[in-house]
């Protein structure tokens, strides 16, 4: 079922603005469901623009894995909280929402790419971290997930003035 955004003046549809939100984000939150039960989980991520997907690192076992094995359809968001606007009874924020399909990755090269992407994203000096952490045995044991994006949109408040 498709919905429309009630406040079109707050909607972000420009692809470059959406990618900027992804680039600035620190983590994303995924909504998962299993047997009519909801579950939220926040994860750090890398984003593969060429393949339009998020890459995430996670444990091999646990509640999140059970939910994703049961239902790979996810909804996610990245939120930028820009604070309460004193005296305006408003809150400044930017959000990116996306729908996607989660896929567990077994390919060693995809795992390597994902970990390098995340290390380079967060570390000011990534080379020693990559040397220390990205080893063949570790790549075999690490769990990487790919979230292939079906659609995404953004919202900003207060709304930007648009021409």
- What residues does each domain of the chain span? 8-157
Specify the pLDDT at position 83: 81
- What are 132-138's contacts with CB under 8 Å, separation 24+? 136/108
Assign 13 a pLDDT band (cuts: 50, 70, 90). Answer: confident
Percent of the chain with pLDDT over 70: 91
Specify the pLDDT at position 32: 98
Over residues 70-76, mean pLDDT: 97
Residue-wise over 10-21: b if at least 16 C-beta within 10 A, else e? Answer: bbbeeeeebeeb
What's this model's pTM, rounded to 2 decimal places?
A: 0.86
Q: Name the CA dihedral angle for 40, 46, 49, 53, rounded to a multiple of 10 degrees.
A: -40
Q: Which CATH superfamily is domain 8-157 in?
A: Electron Transport, Fmn-binding Protein; Chain A (2.30.110.10)
Query: Among 19-28, 44-53, 78-87, 94-103, which is the least confidently predicted range?
Result: 78-87
């Amino acid at each position: 079922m498709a919905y429309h955004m009630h406040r079109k003046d707050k909607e972000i549809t420009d692809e470059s603005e959406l990618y900027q939100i992804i680039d600035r984000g620190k983590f994303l939150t995924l909504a998962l469901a299993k047997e009519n039960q909801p579950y939220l989980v926040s994860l750090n991520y890398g984003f593969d623009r060429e393949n339009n997907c998020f890459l995430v690192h996670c444990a091999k076992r646990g509640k999140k894995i059970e939910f994703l094995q049961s239902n790979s359809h996810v909804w996610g968001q990245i939120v930028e909280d820009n604070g309460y606007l004193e005296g305006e009874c408003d809150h400044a924020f930017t959000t990116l929402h996306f729908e996607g399909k989660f896929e567990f990755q077994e390919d060693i090269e995809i795992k390597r790419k994902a970990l390098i992407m995340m290390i380079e994203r967060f570390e000011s000096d990534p080379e020693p971290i990559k040397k220390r952490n990205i080893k063949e045995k570790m790549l075999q044991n690490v769990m990487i997930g790919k979230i292939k994006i079906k659609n995404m949109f953004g919202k900003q408040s207060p709304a930007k003035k648009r021409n």
